[in-house]
A and B are shown apart, each in its own frame.
Chain A
Amino acid sequence: MVSLTIDGKRIEVPEGTTVLRAAQSAGIEIPTLCDHPELTPYGGCRLCLVEVEGIRNPQPSCTLPASNNMVVQTNTPKIKEARKFVLTLIFSERNHFCMYCQVSGGDCELQNAAYREGMTHWPLQPNWQGYQVDASHPYIIIDHNRCILCRRCVRACGELVGNFTLGFEERGAQSLLVADIGTPLGESSCISCGTCVQVCPTGAMIDRWSAYRGKETQLDHTTSICVGCSLGCGVDLQTRDNHVVRVYGDWENPVNEGILCEVGRFKPMVEKNQRVNVPLVKKNGSLKAATWEEALNTVANALKSSANQTAALISTRLNTESINAFSQIFRDGLKASIVTSLEEGKFTPSGAQKEGTLADIDQADVILIAGEDLTRDHQVLGFAAKRANSRGSKLVVLNAETDGLDAIAAVSLKPKKGAEGEVFSALTSALAGSISEETCKKTGVSLADLNLAAEVLKNARKAVVVCGKEISNQPMSSKLLFTLASKLDAAVVLPKGGANSLAAARQNLDQSFSLNGEKAVFVALGDDTPSQRLLKKLEGVPFLAVQASYYSPLTAQADVVFPVTAWGEETGHYVNYADVLQETKACLTPSEEVWSNLSVLQGLAGKLGINLEG
């Protein structure tokens, strides 16, 4: 611990703490611009300058380590002058005229800083050089005219997401934010995670879907989670007039620490599916609006007559409450022949010596990623792998298909489909012995690659294994991978499947299915999208009931459709991949005739005379 004095206040902080953080911990506010709590201090904007006794020049508190007996002043006339000067310069650099900016009036940290210093005007005008606006990206707009060159976006892109798309070209006053080597953002290596937009302090990076639709300060904020996949990333859902205006990552949520992928951040904005607003019942071959009473009765009667010759399927995007009610109705009540989830697979094999999380990936020096392209699925795990890689961790990628991480992997193994298990056992034996030519033939992986992979794994100080869905779906392969992991003393990260994959699995709802003359099928689809596979399987079933938020080919096939709430309209619990129980919160009001998924199931249970517990 070191002890220092800031503005006359004695403060104790752990060694290595910056003066800025020390001040903040004591409730002393120092204005900042380039600083961001989640990013490495940069020291570029010079707004956080403080006076330190014994040092001639004002010091940037964001990079200055606190030291014992340091005496710091944060609000002297000299410092106030310096701040005003720095702000004056920034305002004079580019087009910072607030009257035509989308973030003016609360969302702009630059404007807020100027207000804080009581600036009624700026003494220096810019040189009126205009910059092209980069609007090539589907979600993100870069307006260089608003950029203050603080590098928050650059640091976020590299440090948090490991993508290193953003950088700076040229130097001095010519410095310009660029993607890749000056490529338009839309054609660059950008993966649309939008973290840059979230950290931008001004209107330089805005997302085109939410721009001019409301300032953060005017919107309602709801802390919730994303149900796009099993990770359950924390989100700050920003709404206004019953619309989602913006989705930000929740810095406070330990699952993702503020980082989202394209699916979590932008999909809710761009998805324009047509909502089902009233119960629908098929009459004379076409779906007609009906009352809830009629719709529920129709389904209840059909289920009663089909009894155990019923198939019931539920999406893992639905909350635990719905999943529990679902399994009570169909498995316990109706004793239906098929009761499972739409994932149609086992993604939660047991037997790993220790299960790990994203944090293990962050801390590992060798990361074995098997059977899943983390740049496509469970992307936030992929970000962790990429940023770990940028800090020197080695990646071993095993995927029969092309994998987005191939390019940065120390070694990328491409076994024949189904031969993954062989590779794992070969690697396990290679840790102690050697690899035979025969193995190479069987797996289709070269000896050189296998040896290299074994070498990398052997030298790991802290390895972690990601067991993707292509592996977790195969009991034998997973077992062999777990053996390898335990030999490496590595935690196994099981990304699993959809948002509530684990909760569904605990209800045994992770069986694959094929219809065998079932008379009725009930699908609790919620706001999920039906797969082609599912549609095919359900073709020509005698009776199909669907509870869905949106019209889809599946609802078109259905005899009865229950309109249900979508994400953002329903409060409920989810168990994420790492067994963390989280909650989505309702912040939008659905239209009158739309019921929650749980209410529909409860209504149905009532009609069927089944008592629901818990």
Chain B
Amino acid sequence: MTKPKISSDWMCGCAGCHMSLLDIDEIIIKVAELADIRSTPITDLKEPDAGGVDVGILEGGIANSSNEEVAHRMRSRAKILVALGDCAVFGGVPAMRNFCGIEAALRRGYVETESTDSEGRIPDDPELCVQQKVRAVHEVVPVDLFVPGCPPEAEVIAYVLTELAQGRKPEISGDKLHWH
């Protein structure tokens, strides 16, 4: 039996969910035994195999056209798509900007920051991706498994990965269910 392939990617998030993934410590070795860890932001391979992976994991909300592309690519290549962490599941902290609008958020970030001098301006290079209202992953592509948490606890991630690596669908409830 060939080992299931797992890929992950991040979009608009803080990388904390991937940090929490690394917090599973030695279990990563077990996961690596059970599964074939392919592209991730912390491995050399950067894109999921064109031929497809079994499990695709996404961290972060979808805040711009580039994120959107990442989500569509992962969805099209993964059999099971996992939304990892509150940003991927709900929109999370990045989605706070939806309450004030992109324009105001960019202005606050690039122009009005206390540390910004009078030169501060909103980047407008035409090659930059287009900012959008921040959306949760499931608003853009269908999601098979939601693992909320900010970040999800390492134990929960370990459980999810080992279950998925063995071809089972993890059950996120009870002690494993946290949105905070």
Contacts and interface: CB of A to CB of B under 8 A. Distances in A.
The answer to whether A and B touch in the complex, with CB atoms under 8 Å apart, is yes
Interface of A: 95, 97-101, 104-105, 111, 114-115, 118, 120-123, 125, 128-130, 145
A99 B173 CA distance: 18
A118 B177 contact: yes
Contact of A98 (B86, B95, B173): B86
A99 B92 contact: yes
Q: Is the interface of B mostly helix, strand, loop or mixed?
A: mixed
Interface string B105-135: 0000000000000000000000000000101
Interface residues of B, number: 29
A104 B179 contact: yes
A130 B86 contact: no
B90 A121 contact: yes
Contacts of A120: 89, 145-148, 172-173, 177
B100 interface: yes
B93 to A, nearest CB: 6
B91 A125 contact: yes
A145 B150 CA distance: 20
Given A99-B92, A99-B93, A130 B99 contact: yes
27 contacts: A95-B99, A97-B92, A97-B95, A98-B150, A98-B179, A99-B86, A99-B150, A99-B180, A100-B93, A100-B96, A105-B178, A105-B180, A111-B180, A115-B177, A115-B179, A118-B173, A118-B177, A120-B89, A120-B172, A120-B173, A121-B90, A121-B146, A121-B148, A122-B90, A123-B138, A129-B99, A130-B99
Given A97-B90, A120-B173, A121-B148, 6 more contacts: A111-B180, A115-B179, A120-B147, A120-B148, A120-B172, A129-B99
Nearest to B143: A121
Contacts of B91: 97, 125
B83 interface: yes
Contacts of A95: 99
B180 A104 contact: yes
Nearest to B176: A120
Given A125-B139, A128-B98, A130-B100, A111 B173 contact: no
Nearest to B151: A99
Nearest to A98: B179
A111 B149 CA distance: 13
B136 interface: yes
A125 B89 CA distance: 11
A105 B179 CA distance: 8
B83 A121 contact: yes
Contacts of B96: 97, 100
Contacts of B100: 130
A114 B90 CA distance: 14
Contacts of A100: 93, 96
A422 to B, nearest CB: 64
Contacts of B90: 97, 121-122
A162 B135 CA distance: 44
Nearest to A104: B180
B102 to A, nearest CB: 11
Nearest to A91: B90
A235 to B, nearest CB: 28
Interface string B2-40: 000000000000000000000000000000000000000
A99 B179 contact: yes
Contacts of B99: 95, 128-130, 145
B109 to A, nearest CB: 17
Contacts of A101: 180
A145 B148 CA distance: 21
